[in-house]
Amino acid sequence: MRILIAEDEKVAQKVLQRFFFRLGHEVFVAENGKKAFEIFKQERPDITVTDWMMPEMDGIELCQEIRKMQLVPYPFVIMVTSSDVKSHLQMGYDAGVDDFLQKPVNKLELKIKIRACERVIDLQQREQVLHNQLAMTLKISENKNSYLEAMMQELKSAQKSLEEALEAAKESTREKSAFLANMSHELRTPLNAIIGFSEMLQEDAEEDGLDEIVMDLNKIHSSGKHLLMLINDILDISKIEANKMELHIEEFLTKDLISEIVNLFKPIFLQNENQLIVECAENILPMMSDITRIRQVIYNLLSNANKFTKNGEIRLIVENQQVLDRDWIFIYVKDAGIGMSKEQMKKIFNAFSQADSSTTRRFGGTGLGLTISKRLCQLMGGDICVKSQLDAGSMFTVALPITINKQENIQSEFEFNLMFQGMRAHL
């Protein structure tokens, strides 16, 4: 199989090149879309694996140029991207992209997609052979109807195999999510044991006055808690992607939940010399929703605000509003931190993504918190939007229905646009 790699990042380029060599494929490499297209015209590879964002010519433009050639047999294009935004994916499909891979590339998933392409290419070749045989048969004799019917049946079988191959590629994505969910669950059990035993040993060491050992045990305990938090994030996103996230609906007092969260965060904010200002409406309504998931969303937003703000003011505003003839709760988290550009805001809710790579290196984190928060809000019939200015802070707005109706579909994007416009006007 002849494979063309279009990737401007040298490390990613080398990883893909080495991976395909080991599978026995003939590999061509280009560092941008323009060079990749020149190689494509000369070598006619079977599969092109291209990055989305590249200099001179990006992956979308490369795919469009390939499709203009209208080649037979059909050359496959797999796009590697860090975005899972539907509009971006639709843009790729419109340009002629056959499939997508999420960064960082999962080698097992890539291998499955390449094998699916190999099966399709083999079926194309068989189909072309059958078409040639059919044409020859028609020229030789128009009386061999039974033979022609057999050829048509084989063509239908080939088409069915092609559809099955494409479905297998989609199934691989679902299996990946299920695998991550199972593995994360298996990792939590020993981690909880480590955390529990470290707490017990820490208490014993404190009683015996072993201060140096207490410090080491505290590091073990803190590291275990941090790792458990990361695993919980992976487990949550896997459940959401596999449509296995369940809500536990109960009635609770919104004001009590906010007080609980504020009491938890006040000492945490002091570590960054930040001041937490809370404005919770006196007439705030009780909610009929999933208190654990709402707590998780607010926790993620406050944690991010504290992480990206130093010696500043962070506001938590909670109030009721009636929108579209329905009672909603609106939660605003406004910080005075580093803020974001318009380009950074476009990908802030993407999984495993932060504003940019320098932010990840400086502040750490998996980039899953906001993705999970947005998916959870949508699961509860609400959503999140963000308004930010570089070096001037950010404001995240959460809109959730006071009461969840399990039989009701999530609000349409149009309705949420109207709602958020109303919220901005209100502020």
| pLDDT of res. 402 | 92
| pLDDT of res. 48 | 92
Average pLDDT of span 340-349: 83
pTM for the predicted model, two decimal places: 0.51
Q: Is residue 210 over pLDDT 60?
A: yes
| 399/131: higher pLDDT | 399
Least-confidence region, from 192-201, 271-280, 322-331: 192-201
Q: Is residue 164 over pLDDT 50?
A: yes
Average pLDDT of span 108-136: 82
Residue 144: pLDDT band by 50, 70, 90 thresholds? low
| 337/145: higher pLDDT | 337
For domain 250-426, give the fold: Heat Shock Protein 90 (3.30.565)
Q: Is residue 401 over pLDDT 90?
A: yes
| 178/43: higher pLDDT | 43
| pLDDT of res. 425 | 40
Q: Is residue 412 over pLDDT 50?
A: no
pLDDT in tens, 46-73: 899 999 889 889 999 999 999 898 887 7
| pLDDT of res. 257 | 93
Average pLDDT of span 145-166: 79
For domain 140-245, give the fold: Helix Hairpins (1.10.287)
| pLDDT of res. 411 | 47
Average pLDDT of span 168-190: 69
Joined tokens for residue 374: 């947005």
Least-confidence region, from 181-185, 244-248, 359-363: 359-363
For the chain, what are the domain ranges?
2-105, 140-245, 250-426
Least-confidence region, from 124-133, 198-207, 270-279, 406-415: 406-415
For domain 2-105, give the fold: Rossmann fold (3.40.50)
Q: Is residue 125 over pLDDT 80?
A: no
